[in-house]
Structure formats: structure tokens, C-alpha cells
Chain A
């Protein structure tokens, strides 16, 4: 069964770029036709979809974050990544990676990112 694991800095300064990586194990990120997504959840609040990348490299982003987000894939490392620039305290959240085709079938355990000086 495919498993996902998020990694990256737990603390980012305001105005800087948040960078996270999702490592895929138990399967190849380039096999099959799936969407690889990022989702976040501020403490005590609901889920927010950030964006996704298709196996072919096509991306879709949330309209509210589109100007600051980049999602990319590195098939050689079996990873996909999230970059969110110009962060503020409002970007503090648990960030999840997930994948599926018509749904978010499998999720990573999540990683907390705090934006603070």
C-alpha cells in the first residue's frame, strides 16, 4: 500500500517561503494516473485544499492561494513538493499531502508549520 510522508522546516519566518516535500513509498509516483495534492488545516479549523499536480505535470491551485503556490514533482526521488511564498501568520497550519484520482484516497500524517519570527 502506498504511504505518504511530509517533511520540511517546522518554523518559517514571515515573508519567507514555506517549502515542504512529500515522499511516496510503496509505489511509484510516475506509475498510474493520479493527482498528488496538498491540503492544510489551521489549528481548530477546517481543511483547506491548496492544490494538486497530475502525473503528467499539470497543476491546479486554489484561487485564494494561486499567486503564492507552486507544486512540483520529482519522479527520480519519488517525491512531490509544495512552495508557498510570502508567508504570514495566517499560513500557520498542519500541512497534509494526499493522492487519488477522483478523491483524496490516501493521506500523509501531516506536518505542523508555524510562521513566526
Chain B
């Protein structure tokens, strides 16, 4: 299985919105509604931000939203804040009953 494809980096100014894409295949992203997004600050464990494509865990800001179209999932962060600067990873369930991660995207808040 190949890693899901994410842009290496994205940036946006405080208050703006950004979108991070996550492209897979029909055997993972396109085939299941089990896409998740994780936020990771340096030296910290990943934190779940979105699961099942668009669901937010309790306590996660509604500035974070997820969607999917075909084999590509997306994470949108609106009203960018300084604390949103982190690495973001997508993951998907696969037809082999495994999980696969994206390569990660570094978000810079200008």
C-alpha cells in the first residue's frame, strides 16, 4: 500500500482559511468513509481533529472541517490562529483491513 498524497506545506495568514488535500485511491480514501485528520505539534503526540471524513471529536474547534470527493479528502481550517501551526496528517482505512497515513503537511501561519 502506498502512502496517501498530501502537499508538503501550506501557509496562510491569521484569520484566513486554508485547505489541505489528501489523495488516495478507490481502495482507501475513495472506498470508505473512514478518513481521519491528525494535528501534531513538535515533540507531541498526534491529536485527532476529524474522523469519519467530517466528524469532529468533542473539544475540537468548529473551525476545523473535513470533506471528501472521490479519492480526495480535504481538511479546511477557517479563521487561522497561531496555535494552528503544526503538522497535519490524514489517514484512511483500506480494502486490506489496514490503515494508511499521508506524508504530512506542514502548516505555517503567517
Binding site for B on A (CB under 8 A): 37, 39, 46-49, 51-52, 60-63, 96, 100, 102-110
**Taking A47-B104, A49-B91, A63-B1 as contacts, is the C-beta distance between A108 and B99 under 8 angstroms?**
no
* C-alpha gap A102/B96 in the complex (Å): 14
The 5 closest A-B pairs by CB, nearest first: A103-B51, A49-B99, A103-B36, A46-B104, A107-B45
Please provide the chain B residues from 83 to 110 with a CB less than 8 Å away from any CB of chain A in the complex.
Answer: 89, 91, 93, 96-104
* C-alpha gap A62/B97 in the complex (Å): 9
- What 0/1 readout, one digit per residue, does chain B (26-52) give for beta carbons within 8 Å of chain A? 000000001010100000011110011
- What size tier do the contact residues of chain B reach? 20 to 34
> Which of A39, A63, A105 is the one whose CB lies under 8 Å from B51?
A105
Residue of B nearest to A35 (CB): B99
* C-alpha gap A109/B103 in the complex (Å): 20
Across chains A and B, the number of contacting residue pairs, with CB separation under 8 Å, is 62
Chain A residues lying within 8 Å of B101, measured Cβ to Cβ, are 39, 46-49
Residue of B nearest to A48 (CB): B101
* C-alpha gap A106/B45 in the complex (Å): 10
B57 lies within 8 A of chain A by Cβ: yes
Chain B residues lying within 8 Å of A109, measured Cβ to Cβ, are 45
* C-alpha gap A10/B102 in the complex (Å): 27
* C-alpha gap A63/B96 in the complex (Å): 9
Chain A residues lying within 8 Å of B1, measured Cβ to Cβ, are 62-63
Residue of A nearest to B104 (CB): A46
Q: List 12 A-B contacts (CB under 8 A).
A: A46-B3, A47-B101, A49-B91, A49-B98, A49-B101, A62-B1, A62-B98, A104-B99, A107-B45, A107-B46, A107-B47, A110-B45
CB <8 Å contact, A102 and B52: yes
Instruction: Specify which of A49, A51, A61, A108 lies most central, judged by the most chain B CB atoms within 10 Å of its CB.
Output: A49
